[in-house]
Structure 1
Amino acid sequence: MNDVFYILIRNAKYAKGYSHLSLYAPIWLVLLSVHVNAQNVQSTPMLDLPAISGEQVRTATDFLIKTRSLDYEARQRAAAEWILEGQIPSFLRELVPVSFKNTNNEKAVILVTCDYMSIGTEGDFIRMPLSLPAARKIASSLGMYLPTSVMVDSIYSKAHVKLQPIPMQPGEQMRSNDYYRRHQQMIEKQLKGVEKGRLVSGHKKDVVITNRLIEQIGRLAIYGWHYAVDDPIQPLSLVHSEDYEDYSHGLRLIYPTAKVNGEAVELKKLINRPEWNMIFTKEGVINIESLSHGE
């Protein structure tokens, strides 16, 4: 394919003065443009999920109806299964870049999901709160990571759209499908007119990783729900057991490969380099892979 375009470009250079050849120059340029654009699209990392279409497609409404009588654990299993089947809105499949700089003025770029993991279609989806076991199952199956609290702060500060937190009345109903649906509607009202696929933050607490999970086995770490930069409602907390989730929680995934000054680097190694450690976490050496996958 590259040889074909090389020939076309080479011939186009000599087309001047030859009307019968110059007529084709616009076609060659269009073909070249399509080829280059296709390369750009192909190089954009995507969530490694099955493509679904037609009768395979299921909506958030389908999920909420199907799981309304399930207990919490069964609903979480179903949520992970639906997501891994590819039942997510299409805009969530493509990852978006978030950049960082260290004290040496080096630039690192990580890739993250533009929003929290959701179930359904673009026209009917729900941002699905996930327990730690469900979050880890999804992350490990896709080869992705969970964020640190420092990453959550940076993602919020770089977000294209910063939403206001919407706390709801606390109580047992916080874990109900009805609360999930109502909170989704409130978020979408704030996002009216915003293009899907933009980096959005501020509307959920993140399920995160921390070294404290090593000592406090069986706990869930959450952080965020920002009013403003450096002003989260939820400080880093492990108050809940790992199987807990409620309407205010969300899962954002992190791609395992970063770029530093344009060069690809494994994030699990980059995060522990002395010149980058404090940029990604304030806890010293951290095993992002093990903590994200539960290994």
Structure 2
Amino acid sequence: MTQERQKAAPGSGRDRQADDIARSYARLSPRTARQSWQGAAALSVAVGLSLTALAFLVSGERPFAPPGPPDLRLAETAPSVPSQVPPPAAASVVPAPQAAPASPPAPDPAPPAIAVTVHAGAPALVPPPRPGPRTLAAVPLRPRARPEAGLVARASSVMASLADLSVTPHSPLPRGRACGAQLAAAIPARPGGAAAGSALARAMDGLTGSGRDRLIARELLRGNIPAFLRDLTPVTLAGRMPDGRRAEVTICVTPDYLALGSDADFLRVPMGLPAAALVADRFGFLLPTTRMVDAVHAQAGLRLAPQPMTPGAEMTSTRYFRQHNSTVQGQTRGRAGLLTAGQKKDLVLTNRLREMPGRVAIYGWHRPDGQPIQPLSTVHGARYADYSHGVRLVSQTAFVKGRPVALAALLADPAFAAILTGEGPITAPDRLMASLYR
């Protein structure tokens, strides 16, 4: 027995030692400190419940009240059916579009299970409609009553249907049918008593740059243009579609460069790009692309050999303009009205005008062998113009398989752009034109 007590003694001592240590820790950490986290948790719960109760009090809602009948407010569907529920005072209401009056729907036999609120009137921001199937925009052959009216239809998506037009090739359309007078009807009639070209040349003596451009644009926009420039000439461009089919596009162009005066006395007038783009846009025309300029020279009834003048500071002077005009008149021998090429460089439409804003793009002045003296260049500022520049206009109505089509849509279409531009699609060319003078 004594041995068993001696063996158990060390263990009992260790137990007593552990109890002493536990009592020491208990004295250092009282029960109130161990329960401090419980008080913090209780405080958080109380604050949360108080805030929730306050929110219900402010909103007026009853959290445990039974649900009432659903709130159904129908929007107006036609002007003849007034809304019974006024729109919220803070909301912006857009009037609903005009539509035929419709009979009100019969009431449901039982209230719906889910309450749906539809406020009267259209939302403040109406998203645009989703585009439908790609369709061809046919061009109505009507003159523009004013510049904003638009001579041609703006096609939003035409790629698929335009490709269908190229199934079979066709010969160039007869002149009277393809490029009728209505395509140039937006050009005002020449007013009685309008100044002749020689008189305007004298009036421009001493004027340069923007000052001269303002005089030229003013006279052009009032219709002081030779009658033969209103008789547009067809030019046909041909090429292959991606599937190998041959396609042809007929464009309608002025037979010569823009000029002031009458058929008997006119002056070809170079001008800076802003003035040229303004006149073209107001008349419902575009500037040609480089590929179009090549086609004009290839199909011209009268091809002239370029007659460069001595380069220098006077290249931009009115005297050079007049002298070069006289040289060209001697070459044409008065044969106005024929599609004429080779006498000047063209201001052209190109994607480079977007890449390099504030510049003018020039190209052409073809030699008799068809090679242009001037490759496509944007080296000059937009308002620069010298004697060698000319402004030829292209109608915004083109023809594919005899059907009138918006030229802007063809230029934006990758397949047809390969035929018309040589540089790929030109998106929204009409907007590009407007950006050149605004």
- TM-score, reference length from structure 2: 0.56
Name the residue aligned to 2:389.
Answer: 249
Q: Identify the match of residue 277 of structure 1 among 412, 417, 424.
A: 417
Aligned-partner Cα distance in 2 for 1:129–1:231:
22
User: Does the aligned pair in 2 maintain the 1:270–1:276 contact within 8 Å?
Assistant: yes
Kindly report which structure 2 residues correspond to 1:204-243, keeping only aligned pairs within 5 A, or say none.
Answer: 204-243=344-383
Q: Does residue 84 of structure 1 match 2:224?
A: no
Name the residue aligned to 1:67.
Answer: 204
Name the residue aligned to 2:322.
Answer: 181
Q: Identify the match of residue 93 of structure 1 among 230, 239, 242.
A: 230
User: Does the aligned pair in 1 maintain the 2:248–2:400 contact within 8 Å?
Assistant: yes
Name the residue aligned to 2:35.
Answer: none
Name the residue aligned to 1:158.
Answer: 299
Unmatched runs of 5 consecutive residues or more in structure 2: 1-175
Aligned-partner Cα distance in 2 for 1:271–1:113:
19
User: Does the aligned pair in 2 maintain the 1:210–1:291 contact within 8 Å?
Assistant: no
User: Does the aligned pair in 2 maintain the 1:47–1:95 contact within 8 Å?
Assistant: no
Paired AA for residue 238 in structure 2: K
Name the residue aligned to 2:404.
Answer: 264
User: Does the aligned pair in 2 maintain the 1:47–1:94 contact within 8 Å?
Assistant: no
Q: Does residue 143 of structure 1 match 2:281?
A: no
Query: Displacement, 1:265?
Result: 0.8
Name the residue aligned to 1:170.
Answer: 311
Query: Displacement, 1:290?
Result: 2.4
**In the superposition, relative to structure 1, how do residues 270 and 247 fare at CA in structure 2: closer, same or farther (>3 Å)?**
same
Query: How far does the alpha carbon of each residue in 1:96-145 deviate from its partner, in whole angstroms, 9 at most, with x for none?
Result: 11112222223221100000000111111111001000111101111110
**In the superposition, relative to structure 1, how do residues 255 and 204 fare at CA in structure 2: closer, same or farther (>3 Å)?**
same
User: Does the aligned pair in 1 maintain the 2:277–2:433 contact within 8 Å?
Assistant: yes
Q: RMSD of the alignment, in Å?
A: 2.0
Paired AA for residue 182 in structure 1: Q
Name the residue aligned to 1:14.
Answer: none
**In the superposition, relative to structure 1, how do residues 85 and 281 fare at CA in structure 2: closer, same or farther (>3 Å)?**
same
User: Does the aligned pair in 2 maintain the 1:139–1:293 contact within 8 Å?
Assistant: no
Q: Could you list the structure 1 runs, at least 4 aligned residues long, displaced by more than 3 angstroms after superposition.
A: 38-44
Q: Does residue 50 of structure 1 match 2:188?
A: yes
Name the residue aligned to 1:125.
Answer: 266
Aligned-partner Cα distance in 2 for 1:40–1:182:
35
Name the residue aligned to 1:294.
Answer: 435
Query: Displacement, 1:41?
Result: 9.7
Q: SS of the residue aligned with 1:265?
A: strand
Q: Which structure has greater strand proportion?
A: 1
Aligned-partner Cα distance in 2 for 1:273–1:215:
20
**In the superposition, relative to structure 1, how do residues 229 and 151 fare at CA in structure 2: closer, same or farther (>3 Å)?**
farther
User: Does the aligned pair in 2 maintain the 1:205–1:224 contact within 8 Å?
Assistant: yes
Query: Displacement, 1:291?
Result: 2.6
Query: Displacement, 1:230?
Result: 4.3
Identity over the aligned pairs, expressed in percent? 40
User: Does the aligned pair in 2 maintain the 1:131–1:242 contact within 8 Å?
Assistant: yes
Name the residue aligned to 1:202.
Answer: 342
User: Does the aligned pair in 2 maintain the 1:67–1:75 contact within 8 Å?
Assistant: yes
Aligned-partner Cα distance in 1 for 2:303–2:394:
19
Unmatched runs of 5 consecutive residues or more in structure 1: 1-37
Q: SS of the residue aligned with 1:271?
A: helix
Q: Which structure's CA Rg is the greater one?
A: 2
Paired AA for residue 116 in structure 1: Y
Aligned-partner Cα distance in 2 for 1:229–1:142:
33
Paired AA for residue 155 in structure 1: V
Query: How far does the alpha carbon of each residue in 1:150-177 deviate from its partner, in whole angstroms, 9 at most, with x for none?
Result: 1111111111111110000011111111
- TM-score, reference length from structure 1: 0.82
User: Does the aligned pair in 1 maintain the 2:320–2:387 contact within 8 Å?
Assistant: yes
Q: SS of the residue aligned with 1:114?
A: coil
Q: Which structure has greater helix proportion?
A: 1
**In the superposition, relative to structure 1, how do residues 215 and 234 fare at CA in structure 2: closer, same or farther (>3 Å)?**
same
User: Does the aligned pair in 1 maintain the 2:179–2:233 contact within 8 Å?
Assistant: no
